[in-house]
């Protein structure tokens, strides 16, 4: 059933309107989170490789100035590629809706459709470090705990989970309405036969 602007307000179309409103809110939250992640993953490659360069003497002593320049350029390219991945793969709403039904709701690490894309920068960093002759533990991407472009991810994530909980409640009500409508239609069909 589609909400009609001229239809009387009923519990049925209020639930449908509520679902549409929540989806709009979720899209806005997803946009903000996506922008935070896009900016942060872009700088992660350089941050992680710089930290390894400063800590690992065999690594920093073994690089010529030319190799170091190439390493920094590759980090920039890795960061840009990771940013593009986040911007494109997290544009559709499907990964964001994967949060429905998830049990652990502290961060976004429990939502594979989101976290697999965001943490994909780790593989790029690992490949770059290996290409430039260093080994060791792969730097792990963690969600930023600072403001990024004026946005604080922790607050955005709290809004995301609150909206997901509300959406789950509304979706449950919509399914109950759909079952009731179906039953009503079946009853009418039975009675008409």
Query: Has residue 45 been placed in a domain?
Result: yes
Please provide the average confidence, as pLDDT, over all residues in the chain. Answer: 89
Tens of pLDDT, residues 111-128 = 999 999 999 999 999 999
> What percent of the chain clears pLDDT 70, i.e. is strictly above it?
93
Query: Has residue 100 been placed in a domain?
Result: yes
Query: Has residue 65 been placed in a domain?
Result: yes
Query: Has residue 2 been placed in a domain?
Result: no
The pLDDT assigned to 5 comes to: 44
Measured distance CA(121)–CA(75) in Å, rounded: 10
| 74 vs 167, higher pLDDT | 74
Predicted model pTM: 0.82
Q: What is the SS3 assignment for 90-103?
A: CCCCHHHHCCCCCC
The pLDDT assigned to 14 comes to: 57
Give the pLDDT band of residue 9 (cuts 50, 70, 90).
Answer: very low
The count of structural domains within the chain is: 1
Mean pLDDT value of segment 176-188: 82
Query: Has residue 3 been placed in a domain?
Result: no
Query: Has residue 78 been placed in a domain?
Result: yes
Q: Is the dihedral of CA 105, 110, 116, 120 positive or negative?
A: positive
125, 45 contact by CB (below 8 A): yes
> What percent of the chain clears pLDDT 90, i.e. is strictly above it?
63
Query: Has residue 5 been placed in a domain?
Result: no
| 152 vs 6, higher pLDDT | 152
| Domain span holding position 136 | 11-192
Tens of pLDDT, residues 69-111 = 999 999 999 999 999 999 999 999 999 999 998 887 789 999 9
Measured distance CA(118)–CA(44) in Å, rounded: 11
Q: How many residues are given for the chain?
A: 193
Mean pLDDT value of segment 26-54: 96
| 109 vs 3, higher pLDDT | 109
Mean pLDDT value of segment 53-66: 91
Any idea which of 117-121, 125-129, 174-178, 186-190 has the lowest mean pLDDT? 174-178
Query: Has residue 186 been placed in a domain?
Result: yes
Give the pLDDT band of residue 1 (cuts 50, 70, 90).
Answer: very low
């Amino acid at each position: 059933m589609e909400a009609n602007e001229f239809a009387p307000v009923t519990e049925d179309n209020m639930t449908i309107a509520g679902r549409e409103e929540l989806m709009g809110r979720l899209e806005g939250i997803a946009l903000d989170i996506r922008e935070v992640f896009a900016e942060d993953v872009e700088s992660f490659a350089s941050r992680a490789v710089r930290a390894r360069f400063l800590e690992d003497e065999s690594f920093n002593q073994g690089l010529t100035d030319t190799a170091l320049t190439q390493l920094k350029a590759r980090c920039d390219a890795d960061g840009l590629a990771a940013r593009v991945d986040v911007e494109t793969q997290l544009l559709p709403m499907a990964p964001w809706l994967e949060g429905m039904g998830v049990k652990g709701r502290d961060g976004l690490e429990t939502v594979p459709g989101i976290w697999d894309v965001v943490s994909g920068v780790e593989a790029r960093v690992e490949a770059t470090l290996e290409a430039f002759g260093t080994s060791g533990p792969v730097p792990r991407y963690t969600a930023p705990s600072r403001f990024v472009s004026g946005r604080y991810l922790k607050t955005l994530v709290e809004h995301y989970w609150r909206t997901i909980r509300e959406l789950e409640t509304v979706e449950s009500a919509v399914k109950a309405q759909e079952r009731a409508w179906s039953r009503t239609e079946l009853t009418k069909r039975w009675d008409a036969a």
